[in-house]
Chain A
């Protein structure tokens, strides 16, 4: 094979052999004989590469970019003969310090590469950093090869997903998890059998990009425990995984460990979504630290007021300038990298409405970033999910710019179902919309049911157990005098605030949790579960555990035995959804019979068959899904009837006739104790009285015709 003529050094600087580099790709790339370094800054006047040996506090070299090492606004050079596995690198950038014009250059600061594929400095979770170190968060060079053994993203149809949101540490950190490598990617691998048995086919990982768990770390005045940046919604870099989430992070192998997790999940039919946080960075406001972007090109990377202050649409001090072309390309490069290098199946964008603001902060009609992501060829099969609001007051559930590609976390589903389940009046009309996949929000725009990510709980807010155990948040342990976290929880404690021995209250709470998950699983759209809800996991009333690296957040696996009844119910309800395509339609209902089955695709009922009561006081709604209309009439399924009685009294529901030759069978009845609460797919029990069924107080019934 010919040796390239550009694989030899052309320059010498001290003991280093160099040559002009290639501007693209940005970042540090291993090339024959060396490493190609490339970084953008349009306002810097000088740039220097700073090299460290791994973990050493002092740099062993500083190499200036020579004049012919700059192309346009890109500094780039190849440095030969580096021991790149034991190397950490950063940059210094000289330029104007003129905050009024948006510039905050400081040539004394060592800055992390925005395109760093791996980072050091926080390799082991919770290990006290050396605060005197001048370079806290260190770019490292990554191997981008991996033996995927034929793996590829699963491309499960969106409407067939059941999403399970989890936090890497919370999932297995508790002693009871019994995994070897607790709180890590490797720990999740050890729990794949559990996820498979539960039946979910997609996990959504809370942020796994590099972040600093010590950011704003402090002691809780309430408990004396150390509070951390536990959730990690505060990025240091967008391309590197959080090394402290890997058991091998201290050896610099977090990339391999994470890729192995993705490959093993895919092998087991489980997709991986990442929660990505492009709305702000960990650099905070004017008082924040220099980590990277601020010192590289502040005016480019951040949205600034005319006076040069940071806009704060994120609520975290700064706002990434997402619709600046440079930043837009960085985000695109980043997502392409995760999709292609890590085989990630999709992304959930935190506070995504920020991504639709222009450089002055105004919402745009056709935000170029969102459009680019929607039509990007590399991301063509990736699921794109927006948290369609931001901390600046923009709320776009149902109106997020989408081009038919973007789904949304449906906050309306969460709020309406919560209020309906707790017995509020006036929800009947709304529940019809939510069960149908929120056509009021999505149908008129031609968007499918899979635009709606349905959820009742997520990391923000109460767990499901706490939703039925607390009227009010109890965030004292966060050390903010219980001021943080939402006050609008739509929760009900069932008669006692917090834990109780009262068997009646305990039964009602279990029933309410079953009601919630049943409605979630029999609604059109994509259901999302919060990890641990199937076990009745509690955060002891804390609805904002962002800083709690302890038992408040860690999933207690002993609950699997203690709450076997609840787990069994979840598992069977998930299996029911998988078994019935009629629950997973892609298109919205037409409310007519278009396959000549004798039934409309969906029909709404009440305590009287064929007469839905959507009046203000109604808490009883029922519906029938015609199996012959499953997947828009392209496949045949059972006909299903669901009765929801959220009144505190028992009600009889007159039943519509099942299809000719079939009889109603009970699949689930949340009012009954096991084993009669749920029978399992294929084991539904015949109904004695086919004319009417009694729904106990606050209960849901699911019937199947067969």
Chain B
């Protein structure tokens, strides 16, 4: 199963829900969705990923894109990530800028 995703902007918070596998098949589509958020006032980018099973190199780049182009001044949250996904984020250095939490409160 490739990824299903949803993107919503509400109260200066970008909420991105990802399920399944974020790889070359799904990453470009999500990237396009995120591009639509460029230039908007955003304080937080929150990824809800408790149903994200796998993230590939292409998927990592979507997260980096979100940091560099969408939420330049925003905090980036990664909520509910499975351990295998967290391990990959850590080993590739993304946890340097991600705020990884089990749950998220507005």
Contacts and interface: CB of A to CB of B under 8 A. Distances in A.
B19 interface: no
Contacts of A252: 56-57
Nearest to B23: A85
Q: How extensive is the interface on chain A, given as a class?
A: 20 to 34
Nearest to B27: A85
Contacts of A186: 90-91
A158 to B, nearest CB: 28
A251 interface: yes
Contact of A257 (B25, B67, B68, B91): B91
A263 interface: yes
Contacts of B79: none
Interface string B58-98: 10110010011000000000000000000110111110110
A706 interface: no
B24 interface: yes
A204 B16 CA distance: 42
A36 B26 CA distance: 22
Contacts of A247: 87, 91
Interface string A184-198: 111001000000000
Contact of B24 (A83, A145, A184, A185): A83
Nearest to A184: B91
B88 A251 contact: yes
Interface in B41-67: 54, 56-58, 60-61, 64, 67
A264 B91 CA distance: 11
Contacts of A84: 24
Nearest to B96: A149
Contacts of B60: 253, 256
Contacts of B87: 180-181, 247
A418 B103 CA distance: 60
A366 to B, nearest CB: 42
B55 to A, nearest CB: 9
Contacts of A85: 23-24, 56-58
Contact of B92 (A86, A180, A260): A260
Contacts of A263: 93
B54 to A, nearest CB: 8
A396 to B, nearest CB: 40
From B54, B88, B92, B97, name the one whose CB has the most chain A CB atoms within 10 angstroms: B92
Interface in A238-256: 246-248, 251-253, 255-256
Contact of B93 (A181, A184, A259): A259
Given A85-B56, A252-B56, A181 B61 contact: no
A257 B24 contact: no
Contacts of A251: 54, 56-57, 88
A531 to B, nearest CB: 21
The dominant DSSP class at the B interface is helix
Nearest to A147: B64
Nearest to B95: A260
A474 to B, nearest CB: 37
A16 interface: no
Contacts of B54: 251
B12 to A, nearest CB: 24
Nearest to A260: B93
B56 A257 contact: no
Contact of B91 (A83, A86, A149, A253): A253
Interface in B2-61: 23-25, 54, 56-58, 60-61
A145 B93 contact: no
Contacts of B67: 147
A648 interface: no
Contacts of B94: 147
A253 B92 contact: yes
A13 interface: no
A86 B54 CA distance: 14
A375 interface: no
A184 B87 CA distance: 13
Interface string A166-196: 0000000000000011001110010000000
B70 to A, nearest CB: 14
Given A85-B24, A143-B61, A253 B88 contact: yes
Contacts of A180: 87
A84 B60 CA distance: 15
Nearest to B54: A251
Contacts of A149: 96-97
B88 A248 contact: yes
Contacts of A145: 61
A255 B57 CA distance: 9
Contacts of A184: 91
From B25, B54, B93, name the one whose CB has the most chain A CB atoms within 10 angstroms: B93
Contacts of B56: 85, 251-253
A161 B56 CA distance: 37
Contacts of A264: 93
A499 to B, nearest CB: 37
A85 B58 CA distance: 8
Given A85-B24, A260-B92, 7 more contacts: A85-B56, A180-B87, A181-B91, A256-B91, A259-B93, A260-B91, A260-B93
Interface of A: 83-86, 143, 145, 147, 149, 180-181, 184-186, 189, 246-248, 251-253, 255-257, 259-260, 263-264
13 contacts: A83-B25, A85-B23, A143-B57, A147-B64, A147-B67, A147-B94, A181-B91, A186-B90, A252-B56, A253-B56, A255-B57, A259-B93, A260-B93
**What are the nearest 9 A-B pairs in CB distance?**
A260-B93, A85-B24, A256-B92, A186-B91, A147-B64, A257-B91, A248-B91, A143-B57, A85-B58
